[in-house]
Structure 1
Amino acid sequence: MAVPEGEISDALQVLRRVFGYDAFREGQGEIIEHVVAGNDALVLMPTGGGKSLCYQIPALVRKGVGVVISPLIALMQDQVDALRNAGVRAGFLNSTQDLDERRVVEAQFVAGELDLLYLAPERLKVASTVQLLDRGDIALFAIDEAHCVAQWGHDFRPDYLLLSGLHERWPDVPRIALTATATQATRTEIASRLNLEQARHFVASFDRPNIQYRIEPKNEPKRQLLHLLRTEHSGDAGIVYCLSRNSVEKIAEFLTANGIEAVPYHAGLDPRTRAENQSRFLREDGLVVVATIAFGMGIDKPDVRFVAHLDLPKSVEGYYQETGRAGRDGLPSTAWLAYGLNDVVNLRKMIDTSEGDAAHRRRLSVHLDAMLALCETVECRRVQLLNYFGQDGEPCGNCDTCLTPPESWDGTIAAQKLLSAIVRLDRERRQKFGAGHVIDILTGKKNAKVIQFDHDALSVFGVGSELRDTEWRGVVRQLLAQGLLAVESNYGALVLTDTSPEVLKGARKVMLRREPEPTKAAKAAKTAKERKAPVDLPSEAMPVFERLRTWRAAQAKDQGVPAYVIFHDATLREIATAMPSSLTELGKISGVGENKLAKYGNQVLETLTPA
């Protein structure tokens, strides 16, 4: 369908008037044009790439109300607050509201007094919600976090399957499905499950050049995390991810005890505490939240300076989604992961014992294998990450493997020694053991357990003394990653795989990654910090910027909204640098739309020139 002349200029006018930006980011204009014209779209755009404008602006340009399907109930209030602050008539319907609140929003929708209405997907199970939508004039349907519909994705949610019926009931209403992360397989499944096979696909670059990806072996992970925060991210807001609720609690307590303000977030907390901790993270500067992966989807906080993982993510898609919560403002940020042998062992066991059929377990294994390949690569991590999503890339010069290239070494003999030890234990003693005990045998340790089982009499006892314990653990970890070794699901014992004999017979060469020395890792950290320098404000602008931040904090507190709802840091930086002296000049600053100019303009100018 052709776009009526003038509608794209209308979209640009909305961008300038409402949101305060002069031009669309790369890809946005084409998507908006497509949807404004009444066409369906499937949009893949990285976190921080401006996905929300791709449906918000068409909703404002087209006749009717834009209906946004989002799983982010805890964040709907903040999303609506941000839109209202920009002068957009927005509302939401979800389970947190009482009957009177819902009735007000429903009446506004029917009367055409809303520009955007946010709905949780489960609301579509309720007949009254469908009847309500029938009574209104719908401009478009936006399906946010669309990967939730795909079982190949990392966050499948059954309620999203209901959305396949939108097109059947409202065939003339355009639909736009959006996600920050999806492989080709996931993309195909999204299109199929949402009846979007005929929709145009828009795939933006997955590259987030401002994020520095770093992965290192676990070696006292709490100490490693504390070092990262103290040396590179002192006073910064950030997210620390752990797999278990118990770990979340312990890490939050550990950081707080060491002078870093941190709060836990997981499903086991009572709802009030969980909501309060999330609210504090969004509204306060410099707070660290320690969380399970249940936290963070759709977080709009732009100044998250780091995302740290203390446990291995289950998939590259999950890892990319979680690390993407750092640096939404485009400023330098860190994605740091510490992982070890136990992570690999535990995740393999979880897959083997997971519910579901063999095909489901194979999917989980494919996801984990890709994640392990990213961890163990000797090439640029960014290139590996982009390749996973089907995108080419060049070495970035800003990940750990680029900054301190790791060595690879021929680990065939070491692999043969390890596999031989497992064979000897099985065939000669009918015994199976975990990695720690096998390593003790290889390194010749005569400890109580070795002596108890008479394992110092094995022919492989002490044959691996040329490597340290930590190096042997790296060998085990990498053989597991390469599928040359497996873990028994019941007791965690090491066992051979179908490909192990190839190594034992010398028919397969095994190349392993040698971890960089600690001094080199410190160099990478220093380089990361140095890269922040180019975005620093001129010295004369810093006091102004801080005054603006203080003013913004007071406004946010009075209104009960996150600070970024008032203005993003990037906007405050530009104001502090440009020092506008009139409302006209202030209105030219990126991020200052008409409504915010009218609401805050005079206060900002007064803040720039204090008495």
Structure 2
Amino acid sequence: MDLHSPLKKFFGFNKFKGLQEQVIKSIVNNENTFVIMPTGGGKSLCYQLPALMKEGTAIVVSPLIALMKNQVDAIRGISEHNGVAHVLNSSLNKTEVAQVKEDISNGITKLLYVAPESLIKEEYVTFLRTQTISFVAIDEAHCISEWGHDFRPEYRNLKHIIKAIDNVPVICLTATATEKVQEDILKTLGITDANRFKASFNRANLFYEVRPKTADVQKDIIRFVKQREGKSGIIYCLSRKKVEEIAQILQVNGIKAVPYHAGLDAKTRVKHQDMFLMEDCDVVVATIAFGMGIDKPDVRFVIHHDIPKSLESYYQETGRAGRDDGEGYCLAFYAYKDIEKLEKFMSSKPVAEQEIGHALLQEVVGYAETSMNRRKYLLHYFGEEFDEKNGDGADMDDNSRNPKKKHEAKGDVVKLLSVVKDTLQQYKSKEVVNTIIGKENALLTSHKTHLQPHFGIGKDKTASYWMALIRQVLVVNYIRKEIEQYGVVKLTEEGEKFMKNPTSFMMTEDHSYSEENDNNIITNAKSSGGAADEKLVKLLKDLRKRVATKQGVPPFAVFQDPSLDDMALKYPINLEEMSKVHGVGEGKARKFGKDFVKLIADYVDENDILRPDDLIVKSTGVNSGLKLYIIQNTDRKLPLEDIAKSKGKEMNDLIKEMEAIIYSGTKLNIDYAIDDLLDEDQQEEIHEYFMEAESDSIQEALDEFDGDYDEDELRLMRIKFINEVGN
């Protein structure tokens, strides 16, 4: 089944991201599907595209009214008919509800966004029962699990409601889920047979930093935001009072900031959210409790004034930065007394809930205090391995940039593992540490642990030393935490091997936090643009803002940044050319393209710009027969020399033809030819050069490499580069 033409037709993309294609196939084949895909991975497209392709209406259950509104706007932006997507929730009046029902009955509505509370209403269930439903998508599915960071009791009931409406396939999506939460979701919905897809949780463009929270934290935040003037950011605080206070301090300091929390009336909340989306303010200060359903791709920083209650919340919230793969800086301020405050809040909850809460909090403490690669720590929490030397984004955190001291701890690891083993693997970390340092308590006494020879075996060191060691040993998988009896520490096979044959273990010493200097600012996260015409990009951004305001949609719902960059490379001057721009497609070109094409045409005239299409035609005169011949034979992996010879061309001419093909947006895979010329490291070196380069000029590349590579090698690598990155 070809999914590429609908993808191009509806969304203007030429290729899928990550696991999208496999997920969509599963849904189109009417199979239950479970998707774990981090924020920014293109989750919503997974159900939007099949919904547009299939007969009937897809029901999307989502907890966030703001997010529904965003998505409906975006889908309406690519369709001729406004009724293609609707929201059904408490904010609608009778007339609006009637309109929604009419559009569904007439087969116009492809996506119906519903809050779980609304889906319970008898009148809606009765109506939906009579309609053709294509499938049910449950977004933010972690809300089903009480182990999730955002549990909603009304989600537990969804299984019965779906059955009552129709026996249709279910697709659940979540941006964060540990194994415990995954099992819980599938069981509760009764879809343990679902196809499971789990994307990597690594967001390589995000930079993670944790700073000590001092009395000067507000100054630190102001300094940080001022250094990023004009960039969008979110600041999370734990209490409404703090939100108001920080928003006010920022305003006084000349920063355009607005507060956002559940205590504001709905009208103000919507207004503040729209100001952020429309770029009328730069910073939103929000409560962690309030899930900001904000689908803004160019949030450049997320600051946690207070550390969140779980690593999942933290991952979810930091994940709102840099969704366009551009710069994203995640800064958290940490003080242990904040953790104690959170623990005090918890003491009023039922015991079972307190236990879950404490276990989740300890993971956060571990992350904040760790001195190892933060990305590795975070990914390990979600059950993913990460190579901190060569992994994507390996040096994008404070610990990797400023490594801490290490010392040999082989003997201590053996002590730790033997205590876990000798206490019969029945204790959580805290009890293991108490055993090692010889601290008696009722639990240890009841198991007679205090009488064992290993009791107090490591009392020469502090409890926090052993805690830190446990965290580091966990991450290298010598021990693991039990899922069913959550938090109980068990030995792994690797741990058993280590005990039999101990090897070196360099333990990283925990931070002695010192005041960080202000120059520690990261500016080299991948920027989203290639060598675009900066002046034109600025004009296009201004136009986008005007069009967005007129249409009442956020700027990125008109065109995303990468599309504007592409326009400033290709200079499209009619709608047909516009539909070939990255991320545009026919529907969008028709809907928004007119003003942009006019602006570009005027700009090209006024500045005497030679457009790349003119260049291609003049320099190569690509005829379609030759183009087809090249595409077919590179697909067959025929040596490039043979392709050139058979058409009576020099290598130089063939490369020119291939450049024309690739710059017109057509894919061309010549990896096989390059693999014969250059090894992996050489390819990576050239790839990185083009990634960072200001322009794709071959002369500049030749100067840069100073004779390491010849012109043909660089031109072929440029083709491969554009093929991967641009097309």
The verdict on a shared fold, with TM-score over 0.5 as the criterion, is: yes
1:173 and 2:175 are equivalent in the alignment: no
**2:524 is matched by which residue type in structure 1?**
E
**How far apart in 2 are the matches of 1:119 and 1:107?**
16
Shift of 1:199: 0.8
**How far apart in 2 are the matches of 1:39 and 1:163?**
18
Which of 504, 510, 514 in structure 2 is aligned with 1:513? 510
1:341 and 2:336 are equivalent in the alignment: yes
Structure 1: stretches of 5+ with no match in the other structure: 1-7, 412-478, 486-494
Shift of 1:124: 1.8
Which residue is equivalent to 1:70?
A: 62
Relative to structure 1, is the Cα distance of residues 503 and 346 closer, same or farther in structure 2, using a 3 angstrom cutoff? farther
**How far apart in 1 are the matches of 2:512 and 2:408?**
14
Which residue is equivalent to 2:657?
A: none
Shift of 1:522: 4.0
Shift of 1:585: 2.3
Which residue is equivalent to 1:186?
A: 181
**1:198 is matched by which residue type in structure 2?**
D
1:272 and 2:260 are equivalent in the alignment: no
Which of 378, 403, 406 in structure 2 is aligned with 1:405? 403
CA deviations on 1:157-178 (whole Å, 9 max, x unpaired) are: 1111121114533554111000
Shift of 1:48: 0.8
CA contact (8 A) 1:51 1:178 kept: yes
Relative to structure 1, is the Cα distance of residues 259 and 390 closer, same or farther in structure 2, using a 3 angstrom cutoff? same
Relative to structure 1, is the Cα distance of residues 507 and 580 closer, same or farther in structure 2, using a 3 angstrom cutoff? closer
**1:79 is matched by which residue type in structure 2?**
Q
Relative to structure 1, is the Cα distance of residues 27 and 354 closer, same or farther in structure 2, using a 3 angstrom cutoff? same
**How far apart in 2 are the matches of 1:541 and 1:559?**
26
**How far apart in 2 are the matches of 1:518 and 1:410?**
27
**How far apart in 2 are the matches of 1:548 and 1:253?**
33
Which residue is equivalent to 1:113?
A: 108
CA deviations on 1:136-163 (whole Å, 9 max, x unpaired) are: 1011101011111110001001111121
CA contact (8 A) 1:42 1:177 kept: yes
Which residue is equivalent to 1:566?
A: 558
**1:354 is matched by which residue type in structure 2?**
S
Task: Spell out the pairing of 1:251-400 with structure 2 (5 A cutoff).
Answer: 251-284=246-279, 287-351=282-346, 353-356=347-350, 358-395=351-388, 396-400=394-398
Which residue is equivalent to 1:469?
A: none
SS in 2 for 1:112: coil
1:131 and 2:126 are equivalent in the alignment: yes
**How far apart in 2 are the matches of 1:151 and 1:378?**
30
Which residue is equivalent to 1:83?
A: 75
If asked which structure has higher relative contact order (CA below 8 Å, sep 6+), I would say 1
1:529 and 2:523 are equivalent in the alignment: yes
SS in 2 for 1:235: coil
Shift of 1:317: 0.4
Structure 2: stretches of 5+ with no match in the other structure: 389-393, 410-428, 445-449, 466-508, 607-727
Which of 214, 221, 228 in structure 2 is aligned with 1:225? 221
Relative to structure 1, is the Cα distance of residues 40 and 504 closer, same or farther in structure 2, using a 3 angstrom cutoff? closer
Relative to structure 1, is the Cα distance of residues 587 and 253 closer, same or farther in structure 2, using a 3 angstrom cutoff? same
CA contact (8 A) 1:369 1:481 kept: no
CA contact (8 A) 1:410 1:510 kept: no
CA contact (8 A) 1:503 1:509 kept: no
**How far apart in 2 are the matches of 1:227 and 1:52?**
36
Relative to structure 1, is the Cα distance of residues 508 and 293 closer, same or farther in structure 2, using a 3 angstrom cutoff? closer
**How far apart in 2 are the matches of 1:328 and 1:481?**
41
Which residue is equivalent to 1:581?
A: 573
1:608 and 2:603 are equivalent in the alignment: no
Relative to structure 1, is the Cα distance of residues 234 and 176 closer, same or farther in structure 2, using a 3 angstrom cutoff? same
Relative to structure 1, is the Cα distance of residues 76 and 16 closer, same or farther in structure 2, using a 3 angstrom cutoff? same
CA contact (8 A) 1:147 1:181 kept: yes
SS in 2 for 1:609: helix
**How far apart in 2 are the matches of 1:170 and 1:39?**
17
TM-score, normalised via structure 2 length? 0.68
CA contact (8 A) 1:218 1:339 kept: yes
CA contact (8 A) 1:241 1:293 kept: yes
SS in 2 for 1:81: helix
CA contact (8 A) 2:433 2:463 kept: no
**1:229 is matched by which residue type in structure 2?**
V
Shift of 1:580: 2.2
CA deviations on 1:460-501 (whole Å, 9 max, x unpaired) are: xxxxxxxxxxxxxxxxxxx9999879xxxxxxxxx9998999
Shift of 1:76: 2.3
Which of 183, 207, 211 in structure 2 is aligned with 1:212? 207
SS in 2 for 1:30: helix
Q: Which moved more, 1:560-569 or 1:203-212?
A: 560-569
**1:314 is matched by which residue type in structure 2?**
K
Task: Spell out the pairing of 1:53-64 with structure 2 (5 A cutoff).
Answer: 53-64=45-56
Relative to structure 1, is the Cα distance of residues 268 and 147 closer, same or farther in structure 2, using a 3 angstrom cutoff? same
Alignment: residue pair count:
519
TM-score, normalised via structure 1 length? 0.80
Which residue is equivalent to 1:428?
A: none
SS in 1 for 2:230: coil
**1:562 is matched by which residue type in structure 2?**
P
Which of 547, 560, 566 in structure 1 is aligned with 2:539? 547
Relative to structure 1, is the Cα distance of residues 503 and 289 closer, same or farther in structure 2, using a 3 angstrom cutoff? farther
**2:122 is matched by which residue type in structure 1?**
A
CA deviations on 1:407-439 (whole Å, 9 max, x unpaired) are: 36899xxxxxxxxxxxxxxxxxxxxxxxxxxxx
SS in 2 for 1:289: strand
**2:77 is matched by which residue type in structure 1?**
N
SS in 2 for 1:42: strand
CA contact (8 A) 1:211 1:326 kept: yes
Shift of 1:508: 6.2
Shift of 1:509: 7.0
**2:356 is matched by which residue type in structure 1?**
R
SS in 1 for 2:168: coil
Which residue is equivalent to 2:26?
A: 34
SS in 1 for 2:43: coil
